[in-house]
Amino acid sequence: MTDKTASIHDPAKITNPQAILDALQASQQLPVHWVTDFDGLEACLDDLETCERIALDTEFIKRDTYYPKLALVQINTGEAIYLIDAPKLDLSEFWVVLEEMPLMIWHACGEDLGIFYLLSECEALTNVFDTQIALSYLTSQLQMGYQQALKDELAIDVTKGESQSDWLARPLTDEQEQYAIDDVRYLLSLYDALQAQLVAKDLVDKVTEDCQLYAKELYEAANVADEATYLAMADFRYTGEQLAVLQAVSTWREALARATNQPKTFILKKQAVRDIVTELPSTMKHLTHKTSMHRSMLRLYGPELLTVINEARALKENEQPPKIMAPYRSKDKTISKAVQKIVDDYEAETGVPANVLMRKKWLSQLYEVVAYDLPLEQLPEGLKGWRYPWVVETVIPLIATHKEALQAGMGVDDEDYSAAGG
């Protein structure tokens, strides 16, 4: 297999403004092909295998199921638009062809790649370009929608009124079909317009790396072990016993949701999980009156859930999950102001927006590395790529000068957290 990332961004292929305009106008006339049977899919795949890049989007339903129901895949090859009727087709070969595509262009691909990973069972993709990430570098807006992006970058107006409609219905309404087509019709032109700006600002490599980082993060999120799902709700204030209950309940909820193919929030909403962790109920009466668990779920699963809770509470201390490190908290803003200054300085030097350069979550993890003298291997993945030299040479030395105040703000000296720091 060839290196898929090598051919993604070739400066020699960047189109000029007139070429972008010509392609935009040509996109209005692209033929649209519905793919509803094996022969149609084979013809589509033959076409895809000749492409260096494609634009994609998906439509799906995930209102009352654990597993999303893929309803439609839209693809723009630059020569034609394909509407792939997913429920009617075996897409096994289709996913393989997409995985081997030199470049797949999406806008806000989070949910799309979640479905992709679920259905394809492939490894983390390395051929993804997300125009929303590119726009964050150019505008500092982290979540610009597709409609706004087309209006700002290409002076194109599209409607988004069908996004929550029934995409499994057949036939689609004219409005649904037009919506689906427009979701990819202009995406290649948007990519070209953004790419030209990124080249001019010398940001192509950074954006490309962040797109691949995002694809990897989505892969990891789609493959979290049931036993680790509790971490999304874990709080540093929870005791070992509470963390054990949280882990057990979260694991049970995830497995039950998957087995019954219903959203995990249908079984237990987040607040009900928090109630259980806080109240630690040991009887049905306690579970009923001290938590917000829905009565229908209580009838179905109450006794089973109580067994899960009580078994978790019976664990010995050395069997409980490790404590969660406390975040840095202080009314003294000296450290945060110092960090913000070097972030702003880097933005002024490189043009990378501050909110793109350093995420709040990354900064919290960076504080942990410094406060607990953790190895640099424990830096978040986002700080190990193009940001790494700046982090190691500038950010960490600065934070280290405030290490004593940082440790005080994180309670590192507290007995409760000494084990977490090793």
pLDDT in tens, 349-374: 999 999 999 999 999 999 999 999 99
Contacts of 256 (CB under 8 A, 6+ apart): 264, 267, 301
Q: Give the tens place of pLDDT for each residue, 198-207.
A: 999 999 999 9
**For the chain, percent of residues with pLDDT exceeding 70:** 94
Indicate whether this model's pTM tops 0.75.
yes
Residue 340 has pLDDT above 60, yes or no: yes
25 confidence band (pLDDT: 50, 70, 90): confident
Q: Mean pLDDT over residues 279-303, rounded? A: 96
Domain 11-222 CATH class label? alpha beta
Q: Mean pLDDT over residues 312-324, rounded? A: 97
Q: Mean pLDDT over residues 117-137, rounded? A: 97
Residue 220 has pLDDT above 50, yes or no: yes
Q: Mean pLDDT over residues 276-289, rounded? A: 97
Note whether 11-222 and 226-319 share their fold: no
Contact assessment for residue 134 and residue 153, using Cβ atoms and an 8 Å cutoff:
no
325 confidence band (pLDDT: 50, 70, 90): very high
Dihedrals phi, psi of 83, to nearest 5 degrees: -110, 105
Q: What is residue 15's predicted lDDT score, i.e. its pLDDT? A: 55
Task: Look over the chain and give the mean of its residue pLDDT values, rounded to a whole number.
Answer: 93
Residue with tokens 């990973």, as numbered in its chain? 117
Distance CA 136, CA 351 (A): 11
Residue type, 362: W
160 confidence band (pLDDT: 50, 70, 90): confident
Homologous superfamily of 226-319 in CATH? HRDC domain (1.10.150.80)
Structural domain boundaries in the chain: 11-222, 226-319, 334-418
Full 3-state SS string of 314-381? CCCHHHCCCCCCCCCCCCCCHHHHHHHHHHHHHHHHHCCCHHHHCCHHHHHHHHHHHHCCCCHHHCCH
Bridge partners, residue 81, by sequence: 32, 76
**For the chain, percent of residues with pLDDT exceeding 90:** 88
